[in-house]
Structure 1
Amino acid sequence: MRLLHTMLRVGNLDRSIAFYTDVLGMRLLRKHDYPEGKFTLAFVGYGDESDTSVIELTHNWDTDHYDLGNGYGHIALETDDIFATCEAVRQKGGAVTREPGPMKHGTTVIAFVTDPDVHISF
């Protein structure tokens, strides 16, 4: 077995696709409208779905925003240079909400970025 994708409900699909593609450098892999269900699915990622895990962005047409529940944590992305990545996110209009530094009670260096609807960690 392997992780296929993480699903996130988003209030503004175009804004979310722009964040993941323009700011985080992913590709829009596929997008499909489901008129009967009144929703659209868009899949974004760094590689083909057959080889890598991706993010499924679900937009329910009648919902313009979601409140994050306390069970949701973050999506973790690996980067070779966390400092350069955070600077690139800022340069592209993204918000770094926790600067790179060691995680609480550990040594792994992490940072947090906020997309229009959820939190991302590196």
Structure 2
Amino acid sequence: MLKVIHTMLRVADEQASLDFYQKALGFELKEVRGFSDFKLIYLKDSGSDFELELTVNKGNTEPYDIGNGYGHIALVTENLEALHSQITQLGYDPKPIKTFAPEGQFVARFFFIQDPDGYDIEIIERSERYR
């Protein structure tokens, strides 16, 4: 049986990325592994064994091209309004909270925010489907 263990994102500004994921989204620093050409930074959420792996390529000075294949990473929270407010107070710019209910059928309440490298993060309110 397979188990998802991490997602890797290449980041240009190590400190800006750490500030965002730790302060705005509450990830915990688990491990940093430095190599001659790159650094791997492992962050963990509080609700699972899943890790976010940030890769910092030494000497890179250009922003990364996210391309048109990447969608988003989704995170779930108990209190969408409180987290939205907290993230805003930290100086980040989350999109407005939306309710997704196509054809009158409730699916989710959520908002999006971009990390310092432009990766989309979806924050979803915990519900029957999203735990």
Q: Could you state the TM-score of these two structures normalised by the residue count of structure 2?
A: 0.82
Match for residue 21 of structure 1?
22
Cα distance in 2, alignment partners of residues 63 and 82 from structure 1: 35
Percent of pairs identical after alignment?
32
SS in 2 for 1:99: coil
Which consecutive unaligned segments of at least 5 residues does structure 2 have?
124-131
Cα distance in 2, alignment partners of residues 111 and 69 from structure 1: 21
Match for residue 85 of structure 1?
83
Query: How far is the alpha carbon of 1:21 from its aligned partner?
Result: 0.6
Cα distance in 2, alignment partners of residues 24 and 93 from structure 1: 13
Cα distance in 2, alignment partners of residues 15 and 78 from structure 1: 22
Aligned length: 117
Q: Could you state the TM-score of these two structures normalised by the residue count of structure 1?
A: 0.87
Deviations 1:7-48 (A, max 9, x none): 00000111101111111111111111111xx10000112249
Q: How does 1:1-122 map to 2 (within 5 A)?
A: 1-35=2-36, 38-47=37-46, 51-64=48-61, 65-96=63-94, 98-103=95-100, 105=102, 107-117=107-117, 118-122=119-123
Structure ID, larger Rg: 2
Which consecutive unaligned segments of at least 5 residues does structure 1 have?
none
Cα distance in 2, alignment partners of residues 34 and 104 from structure 1: 47
Alpha-carbon RMSD across the aligned residues, in angstroms, is: 1.7
